[in-house]
Structure 1
């Protein structure tokens, strides 16, 4: 994965935002990853695009100092843009990785993801999607399943929530104390299949990226479940953070109009067709 370069970027590439004093969102090309915690006690959520390990290591040192490394890596899911630097970072840091049990086959070399659907209704990014890698990474011996009780061992005070649809073992992370949500790709705040929107990061509440989502019934149920949490702040895998009325109104509108906004009119995985 680390040897594959994806020629896609956005105006926010390299942007770092302090969502909360202990939550920093870092944009790598077109995807966000998260530094959660404080110096000597932090976790990395997702690992960005292929060939981004050096950029992530540089940002790590800016935030936490020379030689810093996380307690663990937690993955929302294993698509290429969320595990692009995973193998190299695990080798350098020698830390455990946590993911949902249903995502483990894609993280242990046992199963590849379904091919992206270039036929799906959508913009130029959707048409480019066949170039995106779907091969499983293999970090056998490093990755373990998250506990079934919803806790996240390296992240006290957080809960993981199973939000499938975009991938079978997709999770979102929620901290009840301040109602902060890291949604992964369960929903996003940019129209990820349209090149102009991706480049400019025009904010709009959307379902998961169309060209890699294989179960739209589950995807809709996942968005409804996240909306029921009434998050105060949300950060997604693609697009900018949101809070307050913008978030509550945007998420409510997405729930009410999910079939119209999110579900494509046509495509390989529409109408209940899975892998």
Structure 2
């Protein structure tokens, strides 16, 4: 587990190389992405560290519905009666976590990218193969300011998935990019700003185009779905990701 008080009001919980975020303000807590099933006790511990009780959590917002970001969504919805927000293009995958599109076969990735093996093994150990689907989601609208703690602005960033959204937090000069831009690719083990490899990305060309939407936020800090936060500004992260291209 890697817990970080990253910025006042934004807290990163990293587990099995997957990040989720607690966005905290006077109205309560928003959970952004939900990790894997084994993240549950770590989430409870993280809430205590930020001085929050479970009843102060107001909403769950998903950048996208891949299994490694969906792991606790059904539990949070069922036990804590929380609304779970996602773009409508994510609703099918949220209900069927194992059924999502990706460009490349995964069979050859362990041979070409052995650095990804321990990462993927850790994700499986954390419950990646046992994620429950979730239905009756609340729809995100690109461009809207969502009325949840932190009041994130929804930035449409399709490509990794067809309904992927990032969350811009202007008050914090930060953007939560999910897997639209990461600093660690779980399938290759490569670090640094990049889009996720075709082993998990539906449309790499579109993912590269969506970097422009991230750049438009001009955020000082990037909080990715995998890897460490990037503090040299979203423009430099986008530049490096675009140069790296697809893998």
**TM-score bucket of the superposed structures, by smaller chain:** 0.7 to 0.9
Q: 2:20 aligns with which of 33, 40, 46?
A: 33
Q: CA deviation at 1:53?
A: 1.6
Q: Is the 8 A contact 1:185 1:208 kept in 2?
A: yes
User: TM-score, structure 1 length as denominator?
Assistant: 0.76
Match of 2:163 among 164, 169, 172: 169
**Pairing 1:139–2:134 present:** yes
Provide the C-alpha distance between the structure 1 equivalents of 2:108 and 2:89, rounded to a whole number of angstroms. 25
Which of 234, 243, 247 pairs up with 2:222? Answer: 234
Cα deviations across residues 50-74 of structure 1 (Å, max 9, x unaligned)?
3222221222223234444410000
SS state of the match for residue 243, structure 1? coil
Once the two structures are superposed, what CA deviation does each residue of 1:142-188 show, in whole Å capped at 9, x if it has no partner?
x1111355221214542111111111111100023343110000011
Give me the whole-angstrom Cα distance separating, in 1, the residues matched to 2:68 and 2:195. Answer: 17
Where do residues 3-42 of structure 1 align in structure 2 (5 Å cutoff)? 14-38=1-25, 41-42=28-29
Aligned residues: 239
Q: Shift of the alpha carbon at 1:109?
A: 4.3
- Cα shift at 1:220: 0.6
Greater C-alpha Rg: 1
CA 74–212 in structure 1, closer or farther in 2 if over 3 Å, else same: same
Moved more, 72-81 or 101-110: 101-110
- Contact 1:165 1:213 (C-alpha < 8 Å) held by counterparts: yes
Greater strand percent: which structure? 2
Greater RCO structure (CA 8 Å; 6+ sep): 2
Q: How does 1:143-222 map to 2 (within 5 A)?
A: 143-147=137-141, 149-155=143-149, 157-195=151-189, 197=190, 203-222=191-210
CA distance in 2 between counterparts of 1:82 and 1:110 reads 10
Give 1:208 shift.
1.9
Correspondence 1:50-129 to 2 at 5 A: 50-109=37-96, 112-114=99-101, 117-119=105-107, 122-124=112-114
Over 3 Å counting, the alpha-carbon distance change for 1:123 and 1:157 in structure 2 is same
Q: 1:54 to 1:253 in 2, by over 3 A?
A: closer
Unaligned runs of 5+ in 2: none
SS for the counterpart of 1:186 is coil
State the alpha-carbon separation in 2 of the partners of residues 168 and 70 from structure 1.
28
Structure 1: any 5+ residue segments left out of the alignment?
1-13, 198-202, 265-275
State whether residues 50 and 80 of structure 1, in contact with CA within 8 Å, keep that contact through their aligned partners in structure 2.
Answer: no
Shift of 1:18: 2.1
Instruction: Give the Cα separation in 1 of the matches to 2:140 and 2:87.
Output: 5
Q: What is the DSSP-based 3-state SS (H/G/I as helix, E as strand, rest coil) of the residue aligned with 2:92?
A: helix
CA distance in 2: counterparts of 1:64 and 1:40, whole angstroms: 13
Flag the structure with higher helix content: 2
Q: Displacement, 1:44? A: 0.3
Indicate how the Cα distance of structure 1 residues 136 and 30 shifts in structure 2: closer, same or farther if over 3 A, else same: closer
Confirm or deny: 8 A CA contact 2:184 2:192 kept in the other structure.
yes
TM-score, normalisation: structure 2? 0.83
1:114 Cα deviation (Å)?
A: 3.1
Quick one: distance in 2 between partners of 1:211 and 1:181? 25
